[in-house]
């Protein structure tokens, strides 16, 4: 068993090593150049689209564009924003935060391309629901059905065995037991019931819950982080300086931090950044395809804001809190490190503990329901609509078992498959880049767009 684990860990390190990171970053850089820094010049318009109706009218779809974004953010904003940032900074020092920003900057335009292609190549299934995502633009755009099936298989595996179930359930049960002293058995039963109530209703039910929870949980966590930063406002300039300096020079050992090279800072920051915002992995476009819109470009712009909110805002808040409070160099790690930062700097320590715990509960729960939908669409692609109900029941069962299954091998396999999802997706994005460029140019040359800009 130990030998198998060693082999899997090596595969995991390779999959999430330089080759995949270069593919992910390279795709973002390539699209950034070809689209003329779209993520900079069109970000204000993208944010504006979140709060105004489409002047061209709603197109086919199951939910509003905002609801589709909230569903994607439900799966994207998760434990990675709390645990992932702490892991990156612990391994690579403060400079890792800079490379998380870099991954997000180029990831925004990758997410734009994913959202655009998802809407352009989506279809209506036999239940009358929208189905889209990498499996559809790989098949209908590139004509490679076998590669589309490979992506769908990886997607189901991640939903059932990885991000969608075990890590999230374990995170919730552990946090609730430590903070509120509620036994894990009770917590997991409540989680399973809530997941069943939400997911059995399909995308409309999931999106409604996401619309309610996602803005609340993000604001709740950000307010808590701002409170800590206000208490430590004098340390913010020095913290930013540490981030920039640490990105390009080795970070010396201090306290419980063992020191880090520039390469370690780059790898930790980019890997955790991509893992958090999922740009290029192919998950978010599955939700984007459900949006009621006539324009694939408009939805692409809205999808792009997901990476901005996830990494540029929320991950930055976590990173700065860890650095200004000094706990990044302590002997703690993961959620415990973030918890310590909040507890030690709010006037009433227990409030800080509640901020992290409640944030973790909401982040993890929404990730579960978001990934349930991703896996469902992949199952529907592979087996048709008849496979949806059995999938939902299996998913709920695995959520119920999540608190009791702590098998490292399953988590490593899930991490590997999660990384492998990106490969067919990136092949499609590059292969269809001319389509992305063409649709973008056509959209921004239209009179309706120009009139919209003026108003």
Residue 259 has pLDDT above 80, yes or no: no
The confidence score (pLDDT) of residue 169 equals: 85
The confidence score (pLDDT) of residue 350 equals: 60
| Residues 286, 237: Cα–Cα separation, whole Å | 40
| Cα–Cα distance list, 260 to 66, 82, 252, 425, 454 (Å) | 40, 21, 7, 32, 50
More confident site: 187 or 345: 187
Residue 224 has pLDDT above 90, yes or no: no
| Residues 385, 393: Cα–Cα separation, whole Å | 14
Element (H, E) at 130: strand 130-131
Q: Give per-residue pLDDT as tens, 130-153.
A: 889 999 999 999 999 999 999 999
| Residues 85, 102: Cα–Cα separation, whole Å | 14
> Of 132-136, 283-287, 401-405, 426-430, where does mean pLDDT reach its minimum?
401-405
> Of 39-53, 219-233, 338-352, where does mean pLDDT reach its minimum?
338-352
The confidence score (pLDDT) of residue 137 equals: 96
Residue 347 has pLDDT above 60, yes or no: no
Q: What angle do CA 366, 367, 372 make, to 5 degrees?
A: 100
- Give the pLDDT band of residue 9 (cuts 50, 70, 90): confident
The confidence score (pLDDT) of residue 191 equals: 92
301 touches 114 (CB < 8 A): no
The confidence score (pLDDT) of residue 449 equals: 58
The confidence score (pLDDT) of residue 417 equals: 80
Residue 368 has pLDDT above 50, yes or no: yes
The confidence score (pLDDT) of residue 348 equals: 54
The confidence score (pLDDT) of residue 405 equals: 64
The confidence score (pLDDT) of residue 455 equals: 39
Residue 407 has pLDDT above 80, yes or no: no
More confident site: 97 or 169: 97
- Give the pLDDT band of residue 245 (cuts 50, 70, 90): very high
SS3 content of the chain, % helix, strand, coil (to 5): 80, 0, 20
Which residue segments constitute the domains of the chain, with CATH numbers given? 2-454 (1.20.1740)
Torsion angles phi and psi, residue 90, rounded to 5: -65, -40
Average pLDDT over all residues of the chain? 86
Three state DSSP letters for 64-121: CHHHHHHHHHHHHCCHHHCHHHHHHHHHHCCHHHHHHHHHHHHHHHHHHHHHHHHHHC
The confidence score (pLDDT) of residue 57 equals: 56
Torsion angles phi and psi, residue 254, rounded to 5: -155, 130
Dihedral of alpha carbons 146, 148, 149, 150, sign: positive
3-state secondary structure of 393: helix
Give the percent of the chain with pLDDT over 90. 40
Mean pLDDT on 75-85 = 77
| Residues 104, 58: Cα–Cα separation, whole Å | 30
The confidence score (pLDDT) of residue 454 equals: 39
Going by C-beta distance under 8 Å and a sequence separation of 6 or more, which residues neighbour residue 273? 88, 99, 100, 101, 102, 103, 104, 107, 311, 315
More confident site: 46 or 404: 46
Burial of 437 (0-12, 13-18, 19+ CB in 10 A): middle
Residue 452 has pLDDT above 60, yes or no: no
349-374 core/surface letters (b: 16 or more CB in 10 A; e: else): eeebbbbbbbbbbbbbbbbbbbbbbb
Q: Give per-residue pLDDT as tens, 165-216.
A: 877 888 888 888 888 888 888 999 999 999 999 988 887 888 888 888 888 8
| Residues 81, 280: Cα–Cα separation, whole Å | 18
The confidence score (pLDDT) of residue 253 equals: 72
Residue 324 C-beta-side C-alpha neighbours within 13 Å: 22
More confident site: 87 or 387: 387
- Give the pLDDT band of residue 129 (cuts 50, 70, 90): confident
More confident site: 113 or 179: 113
């Amino acid at each position: 068993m130990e030998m198998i684990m060693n082999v899997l860990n090596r595969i995991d390190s390779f999959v999430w090593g330089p080759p995949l990171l270069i593919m992910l970053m390279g795709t973002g850089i390539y699209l950034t150049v070809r689209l003329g820094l779209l993520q900079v010049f069109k970000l204000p318009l993208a944010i504006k689209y979140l709060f105004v109706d489409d002047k061209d009218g709603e197109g086919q779809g199951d939910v509003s564009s905002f609801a589709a974004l909230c569903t994607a953010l439900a799966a994207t904003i998760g434990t990675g924003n709390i645990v992932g940032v702490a892991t990156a900074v612990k391994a690579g020092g403060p400079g890792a935060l800079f490379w998380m920003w870099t991954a997000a900057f180029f990831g925004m335009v990758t997410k734009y391309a994913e959202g655009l292609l998802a809407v352009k190549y989506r279809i209506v299934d036999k239940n009358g629901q929208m189905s889209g995502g990498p499996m559809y633009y790989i098949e209908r755009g590139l004509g490679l059905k076998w590669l589309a099936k490979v992506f769908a298989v990886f997607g189901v595996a991640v939903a059932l065995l990885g991000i969608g179930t075990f890590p999230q359930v374990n995170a919730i049960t552990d946090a609730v037991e430590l903070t509120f002293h509620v036994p894990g058995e009770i917590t997991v039963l409540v989680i399973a019931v809530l997941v069943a109530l939400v997911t059995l209703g399909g995308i409309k039910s999931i999106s409604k819950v996401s619309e309610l929870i996602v803005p609340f949980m993000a604001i709740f966590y950000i307010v808590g982080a701002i409170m800590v930063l206000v208490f430590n406002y004098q340390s913010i300039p020095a913290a930013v300086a540490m981030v920039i300096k640490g990105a390009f020079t080795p970070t010396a050992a201090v306290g419980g931090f063992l020191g880090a090279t520039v390469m370690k800072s780059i790898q930790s920051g980019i890997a955790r950044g991509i893992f958090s915002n999922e740009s290029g992995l192919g998950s978010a476009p599955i939700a984007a395809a459900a949006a009621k819109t006539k324009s694939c470009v408009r939805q692409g712009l809205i999808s792009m804001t997901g990476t901005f909110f996830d990494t540029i805002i929320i991950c930055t808040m976590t990173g700065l809190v860890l650095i200004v409070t000094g706990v990044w160099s302590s002997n703690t790690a993961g959620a415990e490190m973030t918890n310590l930062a909040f507890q030690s700097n709010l006037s009433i320590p227990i409030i800080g503990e509640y901020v992290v715990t409640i944030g973790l509960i909401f982040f993890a729960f929404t990730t579960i329901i978001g990934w349930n939908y991703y896996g469902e669409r992949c199952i529907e692609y592979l087996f048709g609509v008849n496979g949806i109900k059995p999938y939902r029941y299996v998913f709920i069962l695995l959520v119920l078992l999540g608190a009791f299954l702590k098998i490292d091998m399953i988590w490593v396999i899930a991490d590997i498959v999660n990384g492998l999802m990106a490969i067919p997706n990136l092949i499609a994005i590059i292969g269809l880049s001319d389509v992305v460029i063409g649709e973008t140019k056509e959209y921004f040359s239209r009179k309706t767009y120009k009139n919209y800009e003026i108003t």
